[in-house]
Amino acid sequence: MNKLIGIVNSLNYKELKDIQKDLAEGNMGNLIKARMEEIEKSRGYDERICPTCGNKVSEETAKYILTFGSSDFRKRAMFDEMDCLTFFIEKLKIQKKTIDE
């Protein structure tokens, strides 16, 4: 977060306005997703992390694999434990509720 604060503080008004627009239009989310996929690819397919606790998981060690999202924006997450999957789904429910309101 400190790195992000430094970046935000170094931007001028127009740059901030452009980023605000990108955030609202979802472009920033797509950019972050693309960069994360690039990093994951460079690490090799097997080295993924559980999105809840951060433990390393792979196709072989994951106890649960969840595919979710709309058909044009499918996401896939692997979980090491049921608790992590449950927590993740609760977060999705809250996000969906916030979007629907």
DSSP letter for 28, please.
Answer: H
Q: Which residues share a beta bridge with 68?
A: 75
Binding mask 52-91 for Zn ion (x = CB under 5 A): xx-x------------------------x---x-------
**What is the Cα–Cα distance from 44 to 91, expressed in whole angstroms?**
27
**Do 65 and 79 meet the contact criterion of CB atoms below 8 Å apart?**
yes
Hunting for tokens 């809250």 — which residue is that? 94
CB of 1 to Zn ion, least distance (A): 22
Q: Considering CB under 5 A, how many residues would be counted as binding Zn ion? A: 6
Alpha helices, DSSP H, located in the chain = 2-10, 13-25, 27-43, 82-100
Q: Of the candidates 50, 62, 77, 78, which one interacts with Zn ion according to CB under 5 A?
A: 50
CB of 43 to Zn ion, least distance (A): 18
In the complex with Zn ion, which residue's Cβ is closer, 22 or 87?
Answer: 87
Binding site for Zn ion (CB under 5 A): 50, 52-53, 55, 80, 84
